[in-house]
Structure 1
Amino acid sequence: MTSQRHAPGGDRAVLSRRSLITAMGAGALAASSGRALAQAPAQPPSTVTNPPRDFSPRGAPTTYFTDPDVITVDPLFNQYAQPNSAITRLWTGTLWAEGPAWNAQGRYLVWSDIPNNRQMRWLEDDGRVSVFRMPSNNSNGNSFDFQGRQLSCEHLTRRVVRYELDGSITVLADSFEGKRLNSPNDVVAHPDGSYWFTDPPYGGQLYEGAPDVQGGPSNAGGRLNPKLGQPVGIGTVRRELPTNCYRVDPSGRVDLVVTEDQVPDPNGLCFSPDYKRLYVASTGKGPGDTGPGGKGDIHVFDVGTDNRLSNRRLFSDCMIDGVKCGPDGLRCDVDGNLWASSNAGRAVGYNGVTVWTPEGKLIGRIRLPEVCGNICFGGPKRNRLFMAASQSLYAVYVNTQGAGPG
């Protein structure tokens, strides 16, 4: 049965019983949604207080020529901030995002989801994200060398590996002077064919790898069973080495290049564009540390022609406005500026990226709504900064290019 009425102006409007019920239901749903929204718990504070910001592709426009979360601290940064480029959250869904690296030939980004024991891949052409490698042995830092081969630091197996172009795997380092590594964290390639990597202890915990055997530094009480849920052979070793940095020579020899006394708990590292400097981030005290641990700062060394490091000095204490912006991953641009991920914890507005001149002067910041673990330059022109931040992957275009591959 359909009832009819004449609308003003003579137009006939037909209202069926089903339409009426649908309209009434929609109104009830809207009212119900309003009540639900009114009762929803408070959301975490945004990095932009006015207006609140949605970083997702569905979010409202936020960029009016310049992104409000790309902050110029010194006018020098204006030449590197790309006008009309917005920070975008490309994907979310990791437990702890780390180790972004750009594959120029494949035009994709790979990064680690450490607790989920997998590597993810973002395709540049359509933005598709898929699982790239699982299991990944709780990989952390990734990079690509000058031949386009992927390098990965594995927490679970305590080693650094290289994925060859034919798909096979080469173990670059898993020990030093007969002792097992702790949990390699980040790795970079040098033009001479060597690889440099850091070896802090962060993989010696349940969430990101496997603790030591009973009595080991990260399992001193022996209450943890490091074999649970692991393949055969995992959970049978203990920490044996200090937290050092190493160089893998093209011959395969592993050399100690930075000691724990020089930079405790080393994390991210990168070379300057001319490879005459090595930057090393020192993070906080790790599982099993018996010393004071890192202080959340960045150190720099001069690199000699013989690959020996000298003239160690503090590059930055990473204190900004009285807030400790703990560094993790590091990358240099072609002008030698150092871009560092920032972990400021609950200091909302200081998580993200800090940008420093070669002299150690802070010139810019990028604010993210999550703690940022690591970064890299990518895109076809290598002018897009990718940021692996806690559960998400972010990106923003910049007016410079990254130095070095990956």
Structure 2
Amino acid sequence: MELKIIASDIGFGEGPVWHPDGFLCFSDVVNNQILKIENGKVEVLLQKSGLKTDPQPYHNDQIGANGLVIDKEGNLLMCQHGEHAIARLTKDGQVEKLVDSYQGKRLNSPNDLCLGPEGEIIFSDPPYGLKGQELLPELAQPHAGVYKWQNGTLELLILDMEFPNGVCFSHDYKYMFVGTNKAEERGIRKYKYDNGVLSDMEIFVDENADGIKMDKKGNLYLATMQGIKVISPEAEVIRKIETPSMATNLCLHEPYMYITTENVVYEYFLPNLAL
């Protein structure tokens, strides 16, 4: 199997997701765009995806949207670094901000997100989009976190991670996984998930990762510095797909896996996916 380049010359690729209308979306975090790939052609889907105004001194160069997901209505949900927000791109092209603060202070820079069984949005909020990639408690949150947003209410679920990153559920929604790509807090966390309540945290596998996804067989796909690692339900590495540069995220759309790296998006033929 070979990696096929389907987009290049990207500032910083992230958040690939397959759109139900039949194309791939992904973020260019540095160039503040969401792009689409349809019939082999790369086009801009949304300009100023993560910040509508000029960057401020507390921003770094990663001001665009990051993680993406499609909701059940077909809207594109996005993590906006520059706006410190979770927002929704509706099917008619309108951008609607859903949430940008917690307890009266801005979020840091929402990074990745996934949907729970009732449509709740789970998202990570590390300081990757802030100056120096450090917390700025005078401006935003005094901590990183993982949150649940549902019906207009934001709830802090995880407080004890410095750089929470990729988030995903098992297909039965009984478990939630959270990754980090910082070596000092290595380990993919696994939690029991019951009606928005987390319990029984364990380190599922001793790995770092950026984006993470799970198939119906319970295999966990990790975007890592070396490429994609596939982890079995028994927490064993069962496959490695090396990429020339760091893999930032992935999405699974049978029979392909789409991989974003810093400057390139790849398509990889992966038959017998259990999606």
TM-score (norm 2): 0.89
Say whether residues 1:94 and 2:13 are aligned partners: no
**Offset at residue 133 of structure 1 (A):** 1.1
Per the alignment, residue 245 of structure 1 pairs with: 146
Cα distance between partner residues in 2 of 1:334 and 1:340:
15
Call closer, same or farther: CA 1:341–1:178 in 2, change over 3 Å.
same
Cα distance between partner residues in 1 of 2:49 and 2:219:
32
Per the alignment, residue 79 of structure 2 pairs with: 153
- Which amino acid in structure 2 is aligned with residue 147 of structure 1? E
- Which amino acid in structure 1 is aligned with residue 156 of structure 2? L
Say whether residues 1:372 and 2:244 are aligned partners: no
Q: State whether residues 331 and 402 of structure 1, in contact with CA within 8 Å, keep that contact through their aligned partners in structure 2.
A: no
Say whether residues 1:108 and 2:19 are aligned partners: no
Per the alignment, residue 355 of structure 1 pairs with: 230
Give the secondary-structure state (helix, strand or coil) at the position aligned to 2:171: coil
Say whether residues 1:266 and 2:164 are aligned partners: yes
**Could you list the per-position Cα deviations for residues 16-52 of structure 1 after superposition, in whole angstroms to 9, with x for gaps in the alignment?**
xxxxxxxxxxxxxxxxxxxxxxxxxxxxxxxxxxxxx
Per the alignment, residue 41 of structure 2 pairs with: 128
- Which amino acid in structure 2 is aligned with residue 303 of structure 1? Y
Cα distance between partner residues in 2 of 1:128 and 1:150:
20
Call closer, same or farther: CA 1:239–1:334 in 2, change over 3 Å.
same
Per the alignment, residue 206 of structure 2 pairs with: 317
Cα distance between partner residues in 1 of 2:237 and 2:3:
20
The count of aligned residue pairs is 262
Q: State whether residues 383 and 402 of structure 1, in contact with CA within 8 Å, keep that contact through their aligned partners in structure 2.
A: no
Give the secondary-structure state (helix, strand or coil) at the position aligned to 2:165: strand
**Offset at residue 148 of structure 1 (A):** 1.5
- Runs of 4+ off more than 3 Å: 400-403
Per the alignment, residue 157 of structure 2 pairs with: 257
Give the secondary-structure state (helix, strand or coil) at the position aligned to 2:200: strand
Cα distance between partner residues in 1 of 2:231 and 2:141:
35
Give the secondary-structure state (helix, strand or coil) at the position aligned to 2:224: strand
Call closer, same or farther: CA 1:402–1:296 in 2, change over 3 Å.
farther
Q: State whether residues 146 and 191 of structure 1, in contact with CA within 8 Å, keep that contact through their aligned partners in structure 2.
A: no
**Offset at residue 295 of structure 1 (A):** 2.3
Give the secondary-structure state (helix, strand or coil) at the position aligned to 2:152: coil
Match of 1:281 among 179, 182, 197: 179
Per the alignment, residue 302 of structure 1 pairs with: 192
Per the alignment, residue 395 of structure 1 pairs with: 267
**Offset at residue 89 of structure 1 (A):** 1.3
Question: Which stretch shows the higher mean deviation, 170-179 or 196-205?
Answer: 170-179
Cα distance between partner residues in 2 of 1:202 and 1:188:
18
Cα distance between partner residues in 1 of 2:91 and 2:117:
18
Higher relative strand content: 2
**Could you list the per-position Cα deviations for residues 352-376 of structure 1 after superposition, in whole angstroms to 9, with x for gaps in the alignment?**
1000012211111101111100000
Higher relative helix content: 1
Cα distance between partner residues in 2 of 1:239 and 1:315:
31
Give the secondary-structure state (helix, strand or coil) at the position aligned to 1:373: strand
- Which amino acid in structure 2 is aligned with residue 266 of structure 1? P
Cα distance between partner residues in 2 of 1:93 and 1:384:
22
**Offset at residue 390 of structure 1 (A):** 1.1
Q: State whether residues 333 and 400 of structure 1, in contact with CA within 8 Å, keep that contact through their aligned partners in structure 2.
A: no
**Offset at residue 402 of structure 1 (A):** 6.1
**Could you list the per-position Cα deviations for residues 59-91 of structure 1 after superposition, in whole angstroms to 9, with x for gaps in the alignment?**
xxxxxxxx3xxxxxxxxxxxxxxxxxx321112
Cα distance between partner residues in 1 of 2:40 and 2:117:
31
- Which amino acid in structure 2 is aligned with residue 150 of structure 1? L
Cα distance between partner residues in 2 of 1:179 and 1:283:
26
Query: Identity rate of aligned residues, in percent?
Result: 30
The alignment's C-alpha RMSD in Å is 1.9
**Offset at residue 284 of structure 1 (A):** 2.1
Cα distance between partner residues in 2 of 1:397 and 1:333:
15
Call closer, same or farther: CA 1:92–1:396 in 2, change over 3 Å.
same
**Could you list the per-position Cα deviations for residues 147-188 of structure 1 after superposition, in whole angstroms to 9, with x for gaps in the alignment?**
221010000010001122232222222111212100000011
Match of 1:183 among 99, 109, 112: 109
Cα distance between partner residues in 2 of 1:188 and 1:258:
15
